[in-house]
Amino acid sequence: MMQLHTSTPQVRPLTPAEFDPRCRQQPKPARRCVSFAIGQVVVTPGAHAALDRSGEAHARFLERHATGDWRETPADEVDENCEAIAHGRGVFTQHRLRNGAAVWIATREDRSRTVVFTPDEI
């Protein structure tokens, strides 16, 4: 008669991506804070060119900027932005275009103006 050797496998908790494949397919969740006014919008020549090359409109990124959808902005800056909205300071976000280029968006403390620009234009 053949003897079976059984061993107890090591058990560890599964991550959401392991037990729910939808987690692997969904983008990083957006952080939502209070929305805020953006004032006059200025799109720099570099940002305009980058957006044209990617075939995207600046309005999409402005909406994300003003409503707290900052999925591509580093976490520490997201926290700073939430504090800035609550205390009347400037807000800065980073966004990745489909072609891999980046546009950054900054809103002044007094919410009178928002500038869309590229990292090269600093």
Residue at 2 is within a domain: no
Residue at 27 is within a domain: no
- Name the pTM for this structure: 0.73
pLDDT tens figures, 29-75: 455 556 889 999 999 999 999 999 999 999 999 999 999 999 899 98
Residue at 58 is within a domain: yes
Give percent above pLDDT 90 in the chain: 58
How many distinct structural domains can be found in the chain? 1
Q: Which strands form 40-43's sheet, in the order they lie side by side?
A: 40-43, 113-117, 102-107, 91-96
Domain that holds residue 36: 32-121
> Is the distance from CB of 107 to CB of 36 less than 8 angstroms?
yes
Residue at 100 is within a domain: yes
pLDDT of residue 120: 96
Residue at 12 is within a domain: no
Residue at 17 is within a domain: no
Residue at 9 is within a domain: no
Give CA–CA dist 30/2, Å, rounded.
56
DSSP three-state, residue 42: strand
pLDDT tens figures, 3-12: 544 444 454 5
